[in-house]
Amino acid sequence: MPARRAFLLGAGAALAGPRAAAAAAPPLTLSGTITQGALVIGRTAPGAAVSLGGKPLRVDATGAFCFGLAHDAPPTARLVVSAAGEAIERSLAVAPRQYRVQRIDGLPRHFVEPPPELMKRLEQEYHLIRAARETDSRLPHWQGGFVWPCPGPVTGVYGSRRILNGKPMRPHFGVDVGAPTGTPVSASAGGTVTLAEEDLYFSGKSVIVDHGMGVSTLYIHLHELRCTKGQALKQGEVLGTVGSTGRSTGAHLHWGLNWFQEHLDPALLVPPRPGPPAPPPRKPPPAKPG
């Protein structure tokens, strides 16, 4: 447990004499935008203990670590790094984001309100996806940068509040890329396939790739799978093709990014691409209850 390890290191430093006890605070650098929905990568001294909001984060042998900021993360996050009895605490200012409202009408009713007899299947599929995202491997690929998984314009952005057939749903946790059926889809970073499913109710043919330390990417509505569970992929290696399987209104790739169960915005990791036109100015959102 990182906290205990820090304590032991601290005790050792104290025994070694006042000189060691006066060691400098551990280094800390962060990369990535500190904003809602962001994956943030940090570096500190190997062996340092890091916690975010009081929860320990895993630090690899080189001192690298990462964490995700939820789409509705509060305005500050508290990061503590300790090594050799010294600790630094940093309060991170998390930039808020304005999310769009996306209305999609004309979806088949059974996709918006699944019939009760489907509940068992949906629950199984939910747990399958959750388990893949819980993978906590030592793969280093989360540190190597990400690329767009296929060509095409952005047709749907992260965080949009979705109203399907007039019914408010959970936000859109991913980026949609418009491309014709059959367009190759490739891994946006190297990793291991932790889910390759032919027929999930909402997402159709679906792939999840683990990049290490809880970071994974998701590729859904595929026309064809070109990978199998357990397969190692290099960045840019084809894993399937664009399609419209599952709950989809036309050929596109839905690309997702997760840090464990936290849904993040993959578009923050890659060069910007043209997206849908900005929505017209709207009335302020209604006050949140409570």
43 part of the interface to Zn ion, by CB under 5 A: no
Give least dist CB 149 to Zn ion, A: 13
Give least dist CB 177 to Zn ion, A: 9
Q: Which is nearer to Zn ion, 235 or 244 (CB)?
A: 244
103 phi, psi to nearest 5 deg:
-105, 130
133 phi, psi to nearest 5 deg:
-75, -15
- CA end-to-end span of the chain: 37
Give least dist CB 205 to Zn ion, A: 14
Binding footprint of Zn ion, residue count (CB under 5 A) = 4
The candidate with the shortest Cα–Cα distance to 204, out of 191, 219, 192, is 219
Contact present, 170 and 263 (Cβ < 8 Å) = no
Instruction: Choose the stretch contacting Zn ion; rule: CB under 5 A; options: 22-30, 63-71, 210-218, 252-260.
Output: 252-260
Instruction: Choose the stretch contacting Zn ion; rule: CB under 5 A; options: 53-61, 110-118, 151-159, 231-239.
Output: 151-159
Give least dist CB 144 to Zn ion, A: 25
Quickly list DSSP for 77-139: EEEEEEETTEEEEEEEE-B--PPPEEEE----HHHHS--GGGHHHHHHHHHHHHHHHT-----
Give least dist CB 137 to Zn ion, A: 26
Question: Residue 110 is encoded by which pair of tokens?
Answer: 């059974």
Q: Which is nearer to Zn ion, 152 or 174 (CB)?
A: 174
Question: Residue 178 is encoded by which pair of tokens?
Answer: 């418009």
Q: Which is nearer to Zn ion, 45 or 150 (CB)?
A: 150
243 phi, psi to nearest 5 deg:
-155, -155
Element (H, E) at 3: helix 2-15
Identify the residue among 43, 100, 205, 254 touching Zn ion (CB under 5 A): 254
Query: How long, in residues, is the chain?
Result: 290
Instruction: Choose the stretch contacting Zn ion; rule: CB under 5 A; options: 119-127, 155-163, 189-197, 279-287.
Output: 155-163
Site for Zn ion, residues 177 to 196, rule: CB under 5 A: none
Q: Which residue has the tokens 């009408």?
A: 105
210 part of the interface to Zn ion, by CB under 5 A: no
Q: Which is nearer to Zn ion, 26 or 156 (CB)?
A: 156
Contact present, 71 and 171 (Cβ < 8 Å) = yes
176 part of the interface to Zn ion, by CB under 5 A: yes
CA–CA separation, 203 vs 196, rounded Å?
11
Residue with the closest Cβ to Zn ion? 254
Give least dist CB 150 to Zn ion, A: 13
Q: Which is nearer to Zn ion, 205 or 254 (CB)?
A: 254
Contact residues toward Zn ion (CB under 5 A) are 156, 174, 176, 254
